[in-house]
Amino acid sequence: MSTFLGMPTTAPRGVGHLRGDESFPDAARKALGNEQLRRNLAHATTTIRGKSGAVIAELPDWQELRSAGSALKAATMARLPELLERLEENVTAAGGVVHWAADATEANRIVTGLVEATGHRRVIKVKSMATQEIGLNEALEAAGIAPVETDLAELIVQLGHDKPSHILVPAIHRNRTEIRDIFLREMPGVDPALTDDPATLAAAARRYLRETFLSTKVAVSGANFAVAETGTLAVLESEGNGRMCLTLPDTLITVMGIEKVVPTWRDLEVFLQLLPRASTGERMNPYTSMWTGVTPGDGPQEFHLVLLDNGRTAVLADEVGRQALHCIRCSACLNVCPVYERTGGHAYGSVYPGPIGAVLSPQLTGVADNASLPYASSLCGACFDACPVKIDIPSILVHLRNEAPHPRTERIAMAAAAYTMDHPALYARAQHAAKLSRHARRLPRPLNGWTASRDLPQPPPETFRDWWAGR
């Protein structure tokens, strides 16, 4: 077999939003200087942790559901080729068309071509991480097609010429007053007396988008789940913008990562219990739409499903890291992460921020392109406890740290430390030397990287050996 035939490949550079412009420590330092951001994030993540904890506590079998969800995902990955082919068969049999996209560039080309074929120049969009990941909006705009984000938070991001900072609530970094100001500045026809009452802001979005929903003929969505056994797609949402996009247009194009497939219809009974409680902290999200191909006389009469790789097969090739593909995009790990809560999502550089982003983004792009992200964690383990499908994020972080390129000075220092510890006399002398550094707070160059974000530990006034000898 030649090497290009099926070698797992990372996501290409120059397209999409998986790589940041600067390293995590540099971006985080800037974010930490923004007090408003930290207040907004602390408020929002505290709220969601409380809500989520309460509804999870209502279920006596939460841990059993997590175990089932985790095993279902692992079983799905092991049978992925067969399940994807089954999904294609069943979607096709129900009147849909399935496309396969090896990377972001190909997915963007397929979707743009499908929209162009309809003759329409505007699409309405349901919030979708996959289309954010591949930079679909930019590709559509370059082809002269206007993408309109219809999820409230995505709309806030789009109107604010901003970037998403959270998987579930992309505008989590904005408080109500900032959102009002964006609407006043950017929303055509908005009431100039708009207040910052959340219900009023939601009503403004309803008025602004209603005509667009009714007049746009093409929609683009992501998918939370796709059932191989039946060809059924599922989108979970809250506002009704998803229902609008999935039922009003003539043409629906769904872009979905290959890892989103589930084997059977019954498997949804697990994920439909896990996802809402872990993500928005609701017993059930207000609206879930499920459709299988095309239903004559009801909803879009043309349905396209684009199955996206874009680095996922490279993740799958790593036996430790592949469980990052089990993610159901609930964002519980973001909401419990002490690092995310302080830096916000933009510091991660990728559309996938927080703990799951710190393991997913470097694997999708190759560790070299996101080398600082595996270090964007204190390894406290809160993400592992919160994950509804039990992804062991801390273990993957440690694994990726070993994969990441290490600076020469670090390798030399580690080799020197190993040699010293192997030689008792040298070790004793090193301990005495260390005492001389008692008043130091920072290491000198070239070792200052280590103390840039932590204090140098204080050596004790007396070593154990000295104490033992003088006993």
Partner 1 sequence: MSSKDLILGRIRAALGDTAAPDVPRTYRRAGTQCADVERLVDRLVDYKAVVHRGSDVAGIVASLEPGRLVVPPGLDPAWLPPGMATVEDEHDADAVLTAATVAIAETGTIVLDGSPDQGRRVISLLPDLHICVVRPDQVVAAVPDAIARLDPRRPLTWISGPSATSDIELNRVEGVHGPRRLHVILTER
Distance CA 123, CA 139 (A): 13
* Contact flag: residue 299 with partner 1 (CB under 8 A): yes
- Least distance CB 170 / partner 1 (angstroms): 8
**Which amino acid is it at 423?**
H
Our measurement of the distance from residue 469's CA atom to the centroid of its chain's CA atoms, rounded to an integer in Å, reads: 55
Distance CA 96, CA 93 (A): 7
* Contact flag: residue 284 with partner 1 (CB under 8 A): yes
Our measurement of the distance from residue 191's CA atom to the centroid of its chain's CA atoms, rounded to an integer in Å, reads: 34
Q: Which residue number, 25 or 286, has a Cβ lying nearer to partner 1?
A: 286
118 in Cβ contact with 250 (< 8 Å): yes
Distance CA 404, CA 22 (A): 16
Residues in the interface with partner 1 (CB under 8 A) total 103
Instruction: Write out the binding residues for partner 1, residues 430-449 only, by CB under 8 A.
Output: none
Q: Which residue number, 335 or 372, has a Cβ lying nearer to partner 1?
A: 335
Instruction: Write out the binding residues for partner 1, residues 314-353 only, by CB under 8 A.
Output: 314, 316-317, 319, 322
Q: Which region among 280-288, 341-349, 380-388, 406-414 touches partner 1 (by CB under 8 A)?
A: 280-288
Please report, to the nearest 10 degrees, the dihedral formed by the alpha carbons of residues 79, 80, 85, 89 taken in order.
Answer: 80
Distance CA 232, CA 96 (A): 11
Instruction: Tell me the two tokens of residue 424.
Output: 């008792």
Q: Which residue number, 8 or 446, has a Cβ lying nearer to partner 1?
A: 8
Q: Which residue number, 302 or 309, has a Cβ lying nearer to partner 1?
A: 309
Classify 95 as helix, strand or coil: coil
Distance CA 327, CA 77 (A): 12
State in Å, rounded, how far the first CA of the chain is from the last one.
70
- For partner 1, which residue of 216, 251, 285, 372 counts as binding (CB under 8 A)? 285
**CA 96, 97, 100: angle at the middle one, nearest 5?**
140
Q: Which region among 114-122, 204-212, 357-365, 417-425 touches partner 1 (by CB under 8 A)?
A: 204-212
Q: Which residue number, 5 or 436, has a Cβ lying nearer to partner 1?
A: 5
Q: Which residue number, 27 or 246, has a Cβ lying nearer to partner 1?
A: 246
- For partner 1, which residue of 269, 385, 410, 462 counts as binding (CB under 8 A)? 269
Question: What's the chain's Rg over C-alpha atoms?
Answer: 25
Q: Going residue by residue from 127 to 166, which x/- string records binding to partner 1, judged by CB under 8 A?
A: -----------------------xxxx--x----------
Instruction: Write out the binding residues for partner 1, residues 90-109 only, by CB under 8 A.
Output: 94, 99-102, 106
Instruction: Tell me the two tokens of residue 323.
Output: 């469980």
Q: Which residue number, 145 or 244, has a Cβ lying nearer to partner 1?
A: 244
- Least distance CB 287 / partner 1 (angstroms): 6
300 in Cβ contact with 249 (< 8 Å): yes
- Least distance CB 455 / partner 1 (angstroms): 34
* Contact flag: residue 251 with partner 1 (CB under 8 A): no
Q: Which residue number, 99 or 329, has a Cβ lying nearer to partner 1?
A: 99
Q: Which region among 28-36, 293-301, 419-427, 455-463 touches partner 1 (by CB under 8 A)?
A: 293-301
- For partner 1, which residue of 65, 252, 359, 383 counts as binding (CB under 8 A)? 65
Q: Which residue number, 27 or 156, has a Cβ lying nearer to partner 1?
A: 156
- Least distance CB 99 / partner 1 (angstroms): 8
| Closest to 185 measured CA to CA, from 158, 164, 166 | 158
> Around Cβ 238, how many Cβ atoms within 10 Å?
16
Residue 253 dihedral angles phi and psi, to the nearest 5°: -120, 120
> Between the CA of residue 369 and those of 82, 159, 361, what are the distances in Å?
32, 30, 9
- For partner 1, which residue of 199, 418, 425, 436 counts as binding (CB under 8 A)? 199
Q: Which residues pair with 97 in a beta bridge?
A: 304
* Contact flag: residue 296 with partner 1 (CB under 8 A): no
Distance CA 439, CA 205 (A): 58
Q: Which residue number, 157 or 347, has a Cβ lying nearer to partner 1?
A: 157
Per DSSP (E only), the strands in 225-315 are 225-227, 232-237, 251-257, 261-262, 287-292, 302-308
- Least distance CB 187 / partner 1 (angstroms): 15
289 in Cβ contact with 243 (< 8 Å): yes
* Contact flag: residue 10 with partner 1 (CB under 8 A): no
- For partner 1, which residue of 32, 71, 320, 379 counts as binding (CB under 8 A)? 71
- For partner 1, which residue of 13, 30, 185, 283 counts as binding (CB under 8 A)? 283
> Between the CA of residue 95 and those of 49, 271, 297, 302, what are the distances in Å?
42, 26, 13, 8
- For partner 1, which residue of 23, 34, 118, 295 counts as binding (CB under 8 A)? 295
- For partner 1, which residue of 18, 72, 111, 360 counts as binding (CB under 8 A)? 72
**Which amino acid is it at 8?**
P
- For partner 1, which residue of 15, 37, 48, 261 counts as binding (CB under 8 A)? 48
